[in-house]
């Protein structure tokens, strides 16, 4: 990769995005194909194979296999035609919405994958809402057109109605399933037929002069007239692509395709290069950080422990928000003031982890560290900036951790602290009593926690019910807060940063206390200051 002269030039070539979808829509297959077309891997199937190897090494990942979900998040970088793509993988299960939410804070756009037979499903919709909250623009890929699917107009109307978005189809399928004859590009008039072999993979692109071109009859046979009719209706009936509306989150360009058979995948990569936004300004205090700002700054959106079980390493994933990062640079952790020399940052090229020499706005670098860096941290070269909008969510399930072997309490503490830093769990130390309380947003997180305690830390533990069901961070004037904490000592705890947390037996109690205590703020989310 050549290095353009300025950080701005380089930033403009970045497309940092995530794929959002419901499980089984084809995210893994599409990821593989994007990497394949991007030249990052040589054989489709390596993403899956690599995943399988990793799984074999670690017991807790069996849960992923059993449930067919992905609980780990990773970053894959590939380059094509002068554009550098950073693909951030989001875990697909609803229990992990918190992790997913944070990953989506680090992207500039998203690709929404929909199964042509199923349309918009629950998880797609939830993830879409998160994107909308942050004005993340969305490109839609309607996958599996090589199989019987729903009527294309139906699918487009569903997206428009359910998500309240304008849709702009960029291509049109000539039939689906057994009838499928290829894809017609509504803008360039190029037609992509199957290659004629039994596998039905994509063949060579054919340039036509338009829908009236007689080549269409040869390519589509009996369904040529249907393609003409539908494509004309689509061109007349739906919005035309408006890059500004898309980047504002009001319109989604739509591509039909088949990740499995390579239809529409190159068109998707090209669409990302052509319309998807380069790195956007990032919300921060005292002011938003522009990618053009000269000082290097970034924020940690994810921490992952034990990526390599042999080394107990911990990788903090930092999105570069501004400046030109160079290896060996020292960055300051805002808040603690600690300076960290980043000597072996990692760029996540899909083939392997690579040591990065430089990184630009939009890039993600992995920073190996021993637990200093936390989710939500801001890192700066000179001037203090605090990135905002990377929250912790109040847990919906609270449990006491019960050790099976009491001599392992030190290991338990290390393990819980590690996993709290990763964001797998929240950890609360009650003001009274010595048993840790863990808080999670979903039940599956508890299972992951127990499996990982055993697999990675050799700690056998279980959960006991806690007297509390819900928790809120509390804040207020120092004197008021002190009084509140004293009056509610039995229900108070501290989170891992020492911030006070009020735990309630149920929603009713929380409501009752919060209505009486007008001087105290009860927060369901907390951003690290
Ligand atoms: P996910 O990550 O979103 O959960 O989906 P994944 O890519 O694993 O795809 C789910 C299933 O859908 C897989 O089949 C995959 O091969 C299939 N699939 C993905 N894209 C297409 C497509 O364009 N056309 C067709 N026909 N199928 C597609 P599976 O049987 O569950 O797994 P496998 O045995 O193929 O690995």
At 291-312, the pLDDT tens digits run 999 999 999 998 877 555 555 6
244 is in an annotated binding site: no
Q: Looking at residue 72, what is its pLDDT? A: 40
Minimum-distance ligand 1 atom for the alpha carbon of 147: 26
Query: Is 22 annotated as a binding-site member?
Result: yes
Choose between 356 and 93: higher pLDDT. Answer: 356
**Average pLDDT, integer, range 414-425:** 80
Is 145 annotated in a binding site? The answer is yes
DSSP per-residue codes, 266-302:
HHHHHHHHHHS--PPPB-EESSPBPTT-SS-EEEEEE
Distance 135 CA to ligand 1 centre (A): 29
HSE, CB side, 13 Å, CA atoms: give it for residue 156: 25
144 is in an annotated binding site: yes
Question: Is 93 known to sit in a ligand binding site?
Answer: yes
Number of domains in the chain: 3
Q: Is residue 88 situated within a structural domain?
A: no
Is the separation of the CB atoms in 425 and 469 below 8 Å?
Answer: no
Q: Is 21 assigned to a binding site?
A: yes
Does residue 395 contact residue 504 with C-beta atoms inside 8 Å?
Answer: no
CA of 29 to the centre of ligand 1 (A): 6
| Higher local confidence (pLDDT), 373 or 92 | 373
Whether residue 395 is predicted with pLDDT greater than 80 in this model: the reply is no
**pLDDT of 207 higher than 90:** yes
| Ligand 1 neighbours (beta carbon < 6 A) | 21, 23-29, 143-144, 146-147, 258-261
In this predicted structure, which of 142-156, 164-178, 425-439 has the lowest mean pLDDT?
425-439
For ligand 1, the distance from its centroid to the CA atom of residue 24, given in whole angstroms, is 6
Sequence-separated (6 or more) residues with CB below 8 Å from residue 32: 41, 44, 45, 46, 47, 48, 259
Instruction: Report if residue 82 sits inside a domain.
Output: no
In whole angstroms, what is the distance from residue 453 CA to residue 409 CA? 12
pLDDT for the residue numbered 457: 87
Residues 251 and 302 in one domain: no
- Please name the residue whose Cα sits nearest to atom 25 of ligand 1: 144
- 502 forms bridges with which residues in the sheet? 472, 492
- Looking at residue 332, its pLDDT comes to 96
Which of 220, 244, 275 is where one domain is finished? 275
**Ligand 1 atom with minimal separation from the 113 CA:** 3
Residues 208 and 318 in one domain: no
Report the pLDDT value the prediction gives residue 54, as an integer from 0 to 100. Answer: 40
The 3-class secondary structure across 302-325, one letter per residue, is EEEECCCCCCCCEEEEEEEEECCE
What's the pLDDT at 353? 52
Same domain for 517 and 378: no
Q: How much is the mean pLDDT over the chain?
A: 85
Task: Let me know whether 331 and 447 are in one domain.
Answer: no
What residue has token string 């489709």? 44
Band of residue 449 on the pLDDT scale cut at 50, 70, 90: confident
Looking at the structure, tell me whether residues 243 and 348 fall in a common domain: no
pLDDT at 167: 97
Q: Residue with the nearest Cα to atom 9 of ligand 1?
A: 26
Dist. CA 373–CA 421, nearest whole Å:
8
| C-alpha 254 – ligand 1 centre gap (Å) | 20
* Residue 103 belongs to some domain of the structure: no
26 CA from centroid of ligand 1 (Å)? 5
The pLDDT value recorded for residue 216 is 97
Same domain, 398 and 411: yes
User: Would you place residue 52 in the very low, low, confident or very high pLDDT band (cuts 50, 70, 90)?
Assistant: very low
My answer on whether 361 and 451 are in the same domain is: no
Tell me, yes or no, whether 72 lies in a domain.
no
Residues 238 and 333 in one domain: no
Domain ranges, residue 264: 15-67+108-275
89 annotated to a ligand binding site: yes
| Whether the Cβ atoms of residue 417 and residue 371 lie closer than 8 Å to each other | yes
Q: Which atom of ligand 1 sits closest to the CA of residue 31? A: 7
Q: Is the pLDDT of residue 481 over 70?
A: yes
Q: How confident is the model at residue 214 (pLDDT cuts 50, 70, 90)?
A: very high
The reply to whether 322 and 451 lie within a common domain is no
Considering only CA atoms, which residue is closest to atom 18 of ligand 1? Answer: 26
| Nearest residue by C-alpha to atom 10 in ligand 1 | 24
| Atom 14 in ligand 1: residue holding the nearest Cα | 24
CA 62 to ligand 1 centroid distance, Å: 20
**Residue 345 in domain:** yes
Ligand 1 centroid to 34 CA: how many Å? 15
For residue 4, tell me if it sits in a domain: no
- pLDDT of 98 above 80: no
Is the per-residue pLDDT at 66 higher than 60? no
Domain end position, chosen among 335, 352, 387: 387
Q: Which residues contact 248 (CB under 8 A, 6 or more apart)?
A: 135, 137
Residue 338 has pLDDT above 80, yes or no: yes
Does the annotation list 146 as a binding residue? yes
* Residue 447, pLDDT score: 81
**Average of per-residue pLDDT across 311-320:** 80
Residue 383 falls inside a structural domain: yes
Task: Using the mean position of ligand 1's atoms as its centre, give its distance from the Cα of residue 141 in Å.
Answer: 14
CATH of the domain at 520: 3.30.70.3280
Shared domain check, 235 and 184: yes
CATH number for 63: 3.40.50.300
Cα–Cα distance for residue pair 333/423, rounded to 1 Å: 18
| Structure tokens, 528 | 């690290």
Q: Which of 26, 32, 69 to mutate to test the pocket of ligand 1 (most atoms within 8 A of CB)?
A: 26
What is the best residue among 23, 24, 194 to mutate for testing ligand 1's pocket, by most ligand atoms within 8 Å of CB?
A: 24
Q: Please indicate, yes or no, if residue 512 is contained in any of the structural domains.
A: yes
Average pLDDT, integer, range 422-446: 82
Most confident of 156-160, 349-353, 494-498: 156-160
Flag the least confident range among 75-89, 234-248, 480-494, 504-518. Answer: 75-89
- For residues 28 and 170, state if they share a domain: yes
pLDDT in tens, 246-292: 999 999 999 999 999 999 999 999 999 999 999 999 999 999 999 99
Which of 275, 305, 323 is at the close of a domain?
275
Query: Do 34 and 181 share a domain, yes or no?
Result: yes
């Amino acid at each position: 990769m050549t290095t353009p002269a300025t950080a701005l030039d380089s930033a403009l070539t970045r497309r940092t995005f995530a794929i959002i979808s419901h499980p089984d829509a084809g995210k893994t297959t599409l990821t593989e194909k994007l990497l394949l077309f991007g030249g990052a891997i040589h054989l489709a199937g390596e993403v899956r194979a690599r995943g399988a190897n990793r799984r074999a090494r670690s017991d807790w990942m069996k849960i992923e296999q059993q449930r067919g979900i992905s609980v780990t998040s990773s970053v894959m970088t590939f380059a094509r035609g002068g554009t550098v793509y950073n693909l951030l993988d989001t875990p697909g299960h609803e229990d992990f919405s918190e992790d997913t939410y944070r990953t989506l804070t680090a992207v500039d756009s998203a690709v929404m994958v929909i199964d042509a037979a199923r349309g918009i499903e629950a998880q797609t919709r939830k993830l879409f809402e998160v994107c909308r909250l942050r004005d993340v623009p969305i490109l839609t890929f309607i996958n599996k057109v090589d199989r019987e699917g729903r009527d294309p107009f139906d699918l487009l109307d569903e997206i428009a109605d359910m998500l309240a978005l304008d849709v702009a189809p960029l291509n049109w399928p000539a039939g689906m399933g057994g009838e499928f004859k290829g894809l017609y590009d509504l803008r360039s008039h190029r037609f992509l037929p199957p290659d004629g072999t039994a596998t039905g993979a994509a063949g060579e692109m054919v340039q036509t002069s338009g829908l009236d071109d007689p080549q269409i009859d040869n390519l589509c046979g009996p369904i040529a007239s249907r393609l003409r009719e539908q494509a004309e209706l689509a061109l007349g009936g739906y919005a035309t692509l408006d890059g500004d509306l898309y980047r504002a989150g009001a319109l989604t360009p739509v591509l039909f395709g088949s990740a499995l058979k390579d239809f529409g995948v190159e068109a998707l990569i090209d669409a990302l290069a052509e319309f998807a936004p380069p790195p956007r300004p990032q919300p921060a205090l005292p002011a938003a950080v522009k990618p053009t700002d000269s000082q290097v700054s970034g924020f940690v959106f994810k921490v992952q422990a034990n990526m390599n079980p042999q080394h107990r390493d911990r990788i903090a994933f930092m999105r570069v928000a501004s400046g030109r990062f160079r290896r060996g640079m020292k960055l300051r952790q805002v808040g603690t003031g600690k300076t960290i020399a980043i000597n072996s940052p990692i760029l996540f090229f899909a083939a392997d982890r690579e040591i990065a020499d430089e990184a630009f706005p939009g890039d993600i670098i992995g920073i190996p560290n021993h637990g200093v860096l936390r989710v939500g941290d801001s890192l700066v070269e000179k001037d203090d900036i605090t990135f905002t909008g990377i929250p912790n969510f109040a847990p919906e399930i609270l449990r006491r951790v019960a050790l099976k072997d009491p001599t392992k309490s030190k290991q338990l503490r290390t393990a819980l602290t590690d996993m709290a830093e990763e964001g797998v769990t929240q950890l609360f130390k009650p003001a009274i009593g010595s048993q840790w309380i863990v808080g999670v947003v979903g039940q599956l997180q508890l299972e992951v926690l127990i499996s990982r305690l055993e697999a990675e830390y050799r700690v056998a533990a279980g959960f006991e019910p806690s007297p509390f069901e819900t928790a809120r961070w509390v804040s207020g004037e120092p004197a008021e807060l002190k009084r509140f904490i004293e009056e509610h000592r039995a229900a108070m705890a501290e989170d891992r940063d020492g911030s006070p947390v009020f735990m309630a037996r149920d929603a009713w109690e929380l409501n009752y206390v919060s209505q009486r205590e007008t001087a105290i703020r009860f927060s369901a989310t907390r951003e690290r200051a």
